[in-house]
Chains A and B, each alone.
Chain A
């Protein structure tokens, strides 16, 4: 049971390049999330997916797109990277246990630098 896995761990992009961050979970969770973490800003939600086939914007969606490929996988795409997107990106999934469980399990993160 690997939990939430993310690839790649590190990435350097030039301004204007595109890339896709991959996330997969093996816990049979319905909900999945993408966050970015910046110094002094905490964790900010980019997009989330409450179930396979659905996605919704979070707090900071501009410049990103997502795909919920199946129940296990949720990818984040940067179509034209900008230096402002330099950040650490975390994927998370939520345990669906009863009506009052909001625990989210986080992956190890992808550190992205855009030059």
Chain B
């Protein structure tokens, strides 16, 4: 049973466009939703995260939108740049346990110049 599902599987966007990656989760006990970014040959790194008590969080060009009733959250990358080309993972975790993260399968974003 996959508890966190990402879509689409891959995404190609033109420079300056908006990249949108979606994530759906199963377990309503999840209460922390991060996005990780991974460049080729590197380990993943936290990009942005949200808690379910807010509907949106913005950090620079990156925004998470959260829809609790639909059990979905999404990552929006505004003014996409070739340097944003990477693999993006959504994840989820819940208290009060040990903060294990459940990851989605990841999507590869390519931003064309």
Interchain CB contact under 8 A, B89 and A42: yes
Contact between B105 and A41 (Cβ–Cβ < 8 Å)?
yes
Residues of A near B95 (CB, < 8 A) are 99-100
Residue-wise interface mask of B (6-36) relative to A, using a CB-CB cutoff of 8 A (1 in contact, 0 not): 0000000000000000000000000010100
Which residues on B sit within 8 Å (CB–CB) of A33? Answer: 100
In the complex the two chains form, is B100's CB within 8 Å of A106's CB? no
Q: When the two chains form the complex, which single residue of B45, B93, B99 contacts A106, counting CB atoms closer than 8 Å? A: B45
CB pair B43 A103 closer than 8 Å: no
Residues of A within 8 A of B46 (CB): 103-104
**B100 partner, pick from A48, A103, A107, A109, beta carbons under 8 A:** A48
Tell me if B's interface is mostly helix, strand, loop or mixed: loop
27 A-B pairs within 8 Å (CB atoms) are namely A4-B43, A42-B89, A42-B104, A42-B106, A43-B44, A43-B89, A43-B103, A43-B106, A45-B101, A48-B98, A48-B100, A50-B98, A56-B98, A100-B32, A100-B51, A102-B32, A102-B34, A102-B49, A102-B99, A103-B34, A104-B46, A106-B43, A106-B44, A106-B45, A108-B42, A108-B43, A109-B43
In the assembled complex, A53 has its CB within 8 A of some CB on chain B:
no
The answer on a CB contact under 8 Å between B98 and A31 is yes
Among A43, A45, A50, A94, max chain B CB count under 10 A is at A43
A interface footprint on B77-106 (CB within 8 Å = 1, 0 otherwise): 000000000000100010100111101111
**B: number of interface residues (CB 8 Å):** 21
Interface residues of A: mostly helix, strand, loop or mixed? strand
**Interchain CA distance A42-B105 in the complex, whole Å:** 4
Q: Tell me which residues from 35 to 56 in chain B have a Cβ below 8 Å from any Cβ of chain A.
A: 41-46, 49, 51
A-chain residues with CB within 8 Å of residue B101 when the two chains form the complex:
45, 102, 104
